[in-house]
Amino acid sequence: MANTLRIGIAGLGNVGVGVLDIIRKHEALLADRAGVAIAVTAVSARDKAKDRGHDLAGLKWFDDPVGLAKSPGIDVFVELMGGEGDPAKSAVEAAIASGKHVITANKALLAHHGAALARAAEAKGVALNFEASVAGGIPIIKALREGLAGNRVTKLFGIMNGTCNYILTKMANEGRSFKEVLKEAQDLGYAEADPTFDIGGFDTAHKLAVVTALAFGTEVNLKAIEIEGIEAITLDDIRNASDMGYKIKLLGVAVSHAEGVEQRVHPTLVPKGSPVSDTDGVFNAVVVKGDFAGDLMLEGRGAGAHPTASAVLSDIIDIARGNLRPAFGIPAAKLKPYRQAPNKAHEGGYYVALELVDRPGAVAAIARILADQRISIESIVQRGKPSKDLQRETATFILITHDTLETSIRAAISKIEQDGHVASKPRLIRIERL
């Protein structure tokens, strides 16, 4: 490695340029921290002619990222192209095969092929570092892999998608509808033209799959995640939740049970004042429960060119300092096969919104159904609602349950629907407490 660690960057979008920004601004500081000089020596991107605000004349250019990955002129291959398939996958594989350390910000690649790539990197004795793949500038990968290395992690959850958090925060603070805020976010460039990947919870799920594997020492399993997005969250839900002392956030949650692992992504009520409840706008936050360290929260900028590039630099300096760990904290051969916890294992509180057909005995009947399922109630709000259809007056009936089993609450709601007490589909949102 001599006195310079030679970096090759594949993908010169915002994050790639951010990495160049840091390396050029902090040249001397980085050398002190790394113990060697850090220099970008080669790059690969689609368009060579594009002005990126940096003089690339001294760098070797590759049209093909796989060519860069194999180049003898680099020690570290930084993959910032994204996407679970090629060219990212073949480039990362080529880099590992030719003995290069790999750094990637690519959560999709890791969520789909993380365990296989970890095995390949280990066989070659090279690093596979991915601090930038989850929660941008927040060093959550390092905290899980190293900071909490003395702990068995029992649970983690977090806000890992800035677009969703921005939308939910705006809805809550400005009393505007999901549709309206989404439109604005798209106009401002915070949300994609097709926002499904973010608002549908899929981006969060990719990140959750990565941190779950790291936290629990299991194989990465994206398919096991139950995913629900924020599209159906109404302003009424946000207001009702707020009245009852909660905020609504899109969380990724992973729990390690004796029976297996539970992973889910869904809108969630979090008690006001609890960690993550004040994580607003584009900020991200992750809470981890360690069996010895207790509860730990990390909060910060989850996206953006410079926070993400800061994470890439942390990975680069780890390599320079010889801090080479197995990708998922333990040898890949020791990662446990993923074992799915049965759905009924989930236990928690629930927010239930019912559009009640306002007739005598409805509330009593519902209370009876809940009691039969041994569900106890934390709070209830009922609001009359002016109805256009005078023949069929309805009232919004909101209740918050104490901890109960997922199967019990679903059975109760199913019974409430069958018995004709509601005018529309009941809405159920999980509550998450530390």
- Positions marked catalytic: 207
DSSP annotation of 334 reads G
Q: Which of 80, 103, 312, 413 binds a copy of itself (CB under 8 A)?
A: 312
Residue with tokens 């005995």: 361
Tell me which stretch binds a copy of itself (CB under 8 A): 41-49, 77-85, 169-177, 270-278.
270-278
> Does residue 26 belong to the site contacting a copy of itself (CB under 8 A)?
yes
Report in angstroms how near the CB of residue 329 gets to a copy of itself at its nearest.
6
Beta carbon nearer to a copy of itself, 4 or 186: 4
Question: What one-character-per-residue DSSP string does 229-266 give?
Answer: -STT--HHHHHHHHHTTEEEEEEEEEEEETTEEEEEEE
Q: How far is the CB of 324 from a copy of itself (least distance, A)?
A: 7
Task: Find the shortest distance in angstroms from Cβ 193 to a copy of itself.
Answer: 26
Q: Which residues contact 203 (CB under 8 A, 6 or more apart)?
A: 107, 160, 161, 163, 197
Among 156-164, 176-184, 227-235, 296-304, the segment contacting a copy of itself (CB under 8 A): 296-304
Residue recorded with tokens 């960057």 = 9
Q: From CA 112, how far away is CA 331, in angstroms rounded?
A: 18
Q: Which two tokens stand for residue 149?
A: 């290395």
Asked if 384 is part of the footprint of a copy of itself (rule: CB under 8 A), the reply reads no
Q: How many CB atoms lie under 10 A from the CB of residue 374?
A: 10
Least distance CB 320 / a copy of itself (angstroms): 9
Give the integer Cα–Cα distance in Å for 226 and 262: 9
- Other C-beta atoms lying within 10 Å of the C-beta of residue 317: 17
| CB closer to a copy of itself, 9 vs 222 | 9
Residue 419 within binding range of a copy of itself, rule CB under 8 A: no
List the end-to-end C-alpha distance of the chain, in Å, as a whole number: 45
Closest CA to 165 of 185, 194, 141: 185
Distance, CA of 261 to CA of 251 (rounded, Å): 16
Q: Which of 32, 47, 55, 389 binds a copy of itself (CB under 8 A)?
A: 32
* Residue placing its CB nearer to a copy of itself in the complex, 141 or 422: 141
Largest CA distance in the chain: 83
**Closer to a copy of itself by Cβ: residue 21 or 355:** 21
Q: Is 307 in the site for a copy of itself (CB under 8 A)?
A: yes
Nearer to a copy of itself by Cβ, of 83 and 304: the residue is: 304
In sign, the C-alpha dihedral spanning 7, 13, 17, 22 is negative
- Within residues 331-360, the interface with a copy of itself by CB under 8 A covers 331, 334
Nearer Cβ to a copy of itself (20/409): 20
Interacting residue with a copy of itself among 53, 72, 150, 386 (CB under 8 A): 150
C-alpha dihedral sign at 265, 346, 211, 400: positive
Q: Does residue 278 interact with a copy of itself by CB under 8 A?
A: yes
Residue type, 309: A
Position among 70, 101, 112, 142 found at the interface with a copy of itself (CB under 8 A): 142
Q: Is 149 in the site for a copy of itself (CB under 8 A)?
A: yes
CA–CA separation, 142 and 144 (whole Å)? 5
Number of residues that bind a copy of itself (CB under 8 A): 61
Choice between 166 and 197, CB closer to a copy of itself? 166
Residues in 204-233 at the binding interface with a copy of itself, rule: CB under 8 A: 217
Give the DSSP letter string of 39-81: EEEEEE-S-TTS--SS--TTSEEESSHHHHHH-TT-SEEEE-S
In this chain, which of 79, 203, 299, 406 binds a copy of itself, going by CB under 8 A? 299
Q: 200 or 245: whose CB is closer to a copy of itself?
A: 245
Residue 124 interacts with a copy of itself (CB under 8 A)? no
286: β partners: 158, 298
Task: Write out the residues near a copy of itself by the rule CB under 8 A.
Answer: 18, 21-22, 26, 29-30, 32-34, 131, 136-139, 142-143, 146-152, 217, 273-275, 277-278, 290, 292-301, 304, 306-307, 309-314, 316-318, 321-325, 329-331, 334
